[in-house]
Amino acid sequence: MSKVKISKTKIKTAKISPATKLAGQNYPHQKIETKWQKVWAEKKIYQTNDKSSKPKAYVLDMFPYPSGEGLHVGHILGYTATDIYSRYLRMTGNNVLHPMGWDAFGLPAENFALKHKVNPAVSTKKNIDNFRRQIKSIGLSYDWSREINTTNPDYYRWTQWIFLQLYKQGLAYESYEPINWCPSCQTGLANEDLEDGKCERCGTVVEKKPMRQWVLKITNYAERLLTDLDQLKWPESVKEAQRNWIGKSEGAEIDFPLANKRHYVLLPGFASNSKRSFFPWLKRELEAKGHSVQALDLPDARIPNIANQIEAVLKQVKFGPDTILVGHSWGAVVALKILEKLKTPIAGTILVAGLIEPAVKNRESWPLRLIFNWRFTWPKIKKNAGWVKILRDLKDPLIADNQGLRIQQELGGDLIEFEAEKAHVCGKVEPVVLEHCLEKIKIFTTRPDTLFGATYLVLAPEHQIIQNLIRQPSKKIKNLPAIKNYLTKTKKRTEIERTAEGRDKTGVKIEGLEAINPANGEIIPIYIADYVLVDYGFGAIMAVPAHDQRDWVFAKKFKLPIKLVIWDRQKLTDKSSQIVEDVLEQAYVGEGILVNSDNFSGLSNQKAKIAITKFVRGHLVTKYKLRDWVFSRQRYWGEPIPIIHCANCVLNNPVGRGIVPVPEKDLPVKLPVVKSYAPTGTGESPLADITNWVRVKCPVCGAWAKRETNTMPQWAGSSWYYLRFIDPTNKKFLADPKKLQAWLGAGSPLRNLSQANIGGVSMYVGGVEHATRHLIYARFWHKFLFDLKIAPGSEPFSQLKNQGLVLGPDGRKMSKRWSNVINPDDVVRDYGADSLRLYEMFMGPFEQSKNWNSDNLMGVRRFLDRVWRLSFKVSKTDIKIASDLESLQQKTIQKVSQDIENFSFNTAVSTLMIMANNLELAETISRSLFKDFLKLLAPLAPHLTEELWSNLGEKRSIHLATWPIFEPSKIKINSFKIIIQINGKVRDSFQVEVGTSEAEIKKLALLRPIIIQWTKDQKISRMVYVPDKLLNLVLA
RNA sequence: GGGCGAGUGGCGGAAUGGCAGACGCGAUAGACUCAAAAUCUAUUGAUCGCAAGAUCGUGGGGGUUCAAGUCCCCCCUCGCCCACCA
Kindly report the CATH number assigned to the domain that includes residue A289. Answer: 3.40.50.1820
Contacting residues 179-198/A vs strand B (CB within 7 A): 195-196
Residue A255 Cβ under 7 A from any strand B atom = no
Q: Is residue A679 part of a domain?
A: yes
Residues A426, A447 within the same domain: no
Please give the mean pLDDT across all residues of chain A.
88
Strands A508-516 and A523-528: antiparallel
d(CA A564, CA A555): 13
Decide if pLDDT at A505 tops 70: yes
Domain edge (last residue) among A716, A751, A783: A716
CB of A234 lies under 7 Å from some atom of strand B: no
Q: Which nucleotide is nearest to A247 (CA to C1')?
A: B85
Phi, psi at residue A977, to the nearest 5°? -95, 130
Q: Are residues A403 and A426 in the same domain?
A: yes
**Cβ(A306)–Cβ(A244) below 8 Å:** no
Same domain, A467 and A610: yes
Do A382 and A297 have their domain in common? yes
Check residues 757 to 776 of chain A and report those whose beta carbon is under 7 Å from nucleic acid strand B. Answer: 768-769, 771-772
In a domain, A9, yes or no: no
Does A573 reside within a domain? yes
Question: Does A803 share its domain with A865?
Answer: no
| Statement to judge: residues A675 and A539 lie in one domain | no
Is there a cis peptide before residue A668, judged by omega within 30 degrees of 0? Answer: yes
> Is the CB of residue A296 less than 8 Å from the CB of residue A326?
no
| Residue closest to sugar C1' of B13 by CA | A844
Mean pLDDT on A668-695? 85
Single out the residue in A599, A624, A649 at which a domain terminates.
Answer: A624
Query: Tell me, what's the pLDDT at A753?
Result: 44
What's the pLDDT score for residue A688? 87
| Structural domain includes residue A846 | no
pLDDT score at A574: 57
Residue A873: CATH number of its domain? 1.10.730.10
Q: Can you tell me the distance from the alpha carbon of A803 to that of A509, in angstroms, rounded to the nearest whole number?
A: 51
| Residue A302: pLDDT over 70 | yes
Q: Which of A784, A807, A830 is the last residue of a domain?
A: A807
Give the span between the Cα atoms of A855 and A875, in whole angstroms.
34
d(CA A925, CA A881): 8
Dihedral sign from CA coordinates of A803, A807, A812, A814: negative
| Segments forming the whole domain that contains residue A364 | 261-437
For A833 and B33, how far is CA from C1' in angstroms?
Answer: 32
Question: Which has more confidence, A111 or A712?
Answer: A712
pLDDT for residue A752 is more than 60: no
The number of domains in chain A is 6
**CA–C1' gap, A892 and B12, in angstroms:** 22
Strand B within 7 Å of which CB atoms in A 820-879? 842-845, 848-851, 853, 855-856, 858-860, 862-863, 865-866
Q: Is the pLDDT of residue A4 over 70?
A: no
Alpha carbon distance A387, A465 (integer Å): 8
pLDDT score recorded for residue A475: 74
| Overall average pLDDT of the A1003-1007 stretch | 87
Indicate if CB(A558) is under 7 A from strand B.
no
Task: Identify the CATH number of the domain in which residue A641 sits.
Answer: 3.40.50.620
CATH number at residue A982: 3.10.20.590
Is A126 contained in some domain? Answer: yes
Rounded percentage of chain A residues whose pLDDT exceeds 90:
58
ipTM: 0.95
Pairing of strands A643-645, A659-661: antiparallel
Q: Which of residues 360-399 of A touch strand B (CB under 7 A)?
A: none
Residue A185's pLDDT band (cuts 50, 70, 90): confident
Assign residue A592 the CATH number of its domain.
3.90.740.10
Nucleotides of B under 7 A from a protein CB: 2-5, 11-15, 18-20, 22-26, 37-41, 54-55, 66-68, 79-86
Alpha-carbon span A164 to A643, nearest angstrom: 8
pLDDT of A951 higher than 70:
yes
Contacts of A578 (CB under 8 A, 6+ apart): none
Is A1028 near strand B, with its CB below 7 A from some atom of it?
A: no
Report the predicted TM-score, pTM, of the whole model to 2 decimal places.
0.90
Answer whether residue A155 shows pLDDT above 80: yes
Kindly determine whether the C-beta of residue A25 is less than 7 Å away from any atom of nucleic acid strand B: yes
Bridging pattern class, strands A198-199 and A207-210: unpaired
Count Cα atoms within 13 angstroms, Cβ side, for A425: 29
Query: Is A18 inside a domain boundary?
Result: no
Verify if strand B has an atom below 7 Å from the CB of A1032: yes
Q: What is the pLDDT at residue A584?
A: 72
Question: Which of these ranges, A1-15, A171-185, A933-947, has the smallest mean pLDDT?
Answer: A1-15
Whether the beta carbon of A237 falls within 7 A of nucleic chain B: the reply is yes
Separation in Å: B54 C1' and A1028 CA:
28
Q: Within window 606-625 on A, which residues have Cβ closer than 7 Å to strand B? A: 623, 625
pLDDT given for residue A19 in this prediction: 38
Which of A901, A519, A719, A593 has its CA nearest to residue A63? A719
Alpha helices in A199-305 (DSSP H): 222-227, 236-246, 279-288
The answer to whether residues A277 and A360 belong to one domain is: yes
Task: Give the separation between CA A180 and CA A209, rounded to whole angstroms.
Answer: 6
Q: Tell me: the pLDDT tens digits for A199-252?
A: 777 777 777 777 888 999 999 999 999 999 988 989 988 998 999 899 999 999
Lowest mean pLDDT among A152-166, A498-512, A614-628, A886-900: A498-512
A557 is in an annotated binding site: no
Same domain, A462 and A545: yes
Q: Are residue A489 and residue A584 in the same domain, yes or no?
A: yes
Closest CA to A97 of A672, A748, A899: A748
The strand B neighbours among A residues 416-475, by Cβ under 7 Å, are: 444-447, 460
Regarding whether A663 and A536 lie in a shared domain, the answer is no
| Least confident interval from A13-22, A713-722, A725-734, A777-786 | A13-22
Q: Which nucleotide is nearest to A854 (CA to C1')?
A: B25
Segment among A116-120, A959-963, A972-976 with least mean pLDDT: A972-976
**Closest by alpha carbon to A706, among A691, A685, A722?**
A691
Task: Report the protein residue whose CA lies nearest the C1' of nucleotide B38.
Answer: A24
Is A863 contained in some domain? yes
Average pLDDT over residues A1-23: 35
| Nearest nt to the A532 alpha carbon by C1' | B84
Domain assignment present for A814: no
Nucleotide nearest to A1022 (CA to C1'): B66
Q: What is the mean pLDDT of residues A165-187?
A: 86
- pLDDT confidence of A1035, banded at 50, 70, 90? confident
pLDDT of A699 higher than 80: yes
Instruction: Provide mean pLDDT across the span A717-743.
Output: 95
CA–CA distance from A461 to each of A180, A384, A495, A503, A965 (Å)? 17, 23, 13, 16, 69
Question: In the structure, what pLDDT confidence band is assigned to residue A495 with cuts at 50, 70 and 90?
Answer: low
**Cβ A995 to strand B below 7 Å:** no
Comparing every residue's Cα with the C1' atom of nucleotide B18, the nearest one is A1030
Chain CA centroid to CA A549, Å: 28
- The pLDDT value recorded for residue A961 is 97
pLDDT at A763: 93
Cα angle A95-A98-A101, degrees, rounded to a multiple of 5: 155
Assess whether A129 and A198 both reside in one domain. no
Rounded-to-integer distance, Cα A713 and Cα A780, Å = 15
Residue A854's contacts (CB-CB under 8 Å, 6 or more residues apart) are A15, A16, A17, A809
The tens digit of pLDDT for each residue in A516-561 reads 999 999 999 999 998 898 888 999 999 999 999 889 889 989 999 9
In this structure, the answer to whether residues A138 and A125 fall within a common structural domain is: yes
